[in-house]
């Protein structure tokens, strides 16, 4: 140790203190005795919380059969009101056109097969929407006066 500097001696003292602390902790663990498997097991209660008591020792909450919902509630049939709009463009030769909704100014494609006979540009119509391959399409088109 005669050739060591002050910093090296301090580092050696710190290392020795760590070794002694580690040895002391090891001896304390050995004196406490071996831990059992029951000390290491955790349980999950009915609410998803982690607890240390087994399920048979906890008080169980009584559930009435009427309170249990097995399926999702049925979707109520909602009457869809037809939308109002104006025929913005119509090509009779190709059999398609576009309707501009009056409330939102959105334009919807329609095919001649879902339009009444005699439809022309500028007509005021009512219609319903249906999802098509390229977006929403106007279907069930009727002329209004």
The HSE-up count of residue 102 (CA atoms within 13 Å, CB side) is: 12
Is 58 part of any domain? no
Model-level pTM greater than 0.75?
no
Provide the number of structural domains found in the chain: 1
Tell me: pLDDT of 1 over 60: no
Question: CA–CA separation, 145 vs 139, rounded Å?
Answer: 18
Q: What is the pLDDT of residues 16-53, one digit of tens each?
A: 999 999 999 999 888 877 677 767 788 888 788 888 88
Tell me: pLDDT of 3 over 80: no
CATH of residue 98: 2.40.50.140
Q: What is the pLDDT of residues 109-120, one digit of tens each?
A: 999 999 998 899
Q: What is the pLDDT of residues 80-110, one digit of tens each?
A: 788 999 999 999 999 999 999 999 989 999 9
Is 100 part of any domain? yes
* 56-80: average pLDDT: 78
Expressed as residue numbers, the domain containing 101 is: 83-143
Task: Give the per-residue pLDDT at 139.
Answer: 93
Tell me: pLDDT of 73 over 80: no
Tell me: pLDDT of 137 over 60: yes
How many Å is the Cα radius of gyration of the chain?
A: 40
Is 107 part of any domain? yes
At residue 107's C-alpha, the angle toward residues 134 and 80, to 5°, is 85
């Amino acid at each position: 140790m005669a050739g060591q500097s002050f910093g090296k001696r301090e580092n050696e003292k710190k290392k020795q203190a760590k070794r002694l602390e580690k040895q002391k902790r090891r001896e304390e663990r050995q004196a406490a005795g071996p831990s059992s498997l029951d000390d290491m097991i955790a349980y999950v209660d009915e609410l998803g919380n982690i607890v240390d008591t087994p399920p048979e020792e906890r008080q169980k909450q009584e559930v009435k059969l009427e309170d249990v919902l097995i399926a999702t509630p049925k979707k109520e049939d909602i009457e869809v009101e037809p939308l109002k709009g104006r025929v913005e463009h119509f090509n009779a030769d190709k059999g398609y056109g576009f309707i501009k909704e009056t409330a939102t100014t959105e334009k919807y494609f329609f095919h001649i097969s879902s339009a009444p006979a005699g439809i022309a540009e500028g007509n005021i119509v009512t219609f319903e929407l249906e999802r098509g391959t390229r977006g929403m399409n106007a279907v069930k088109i009727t002329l209004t006066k």
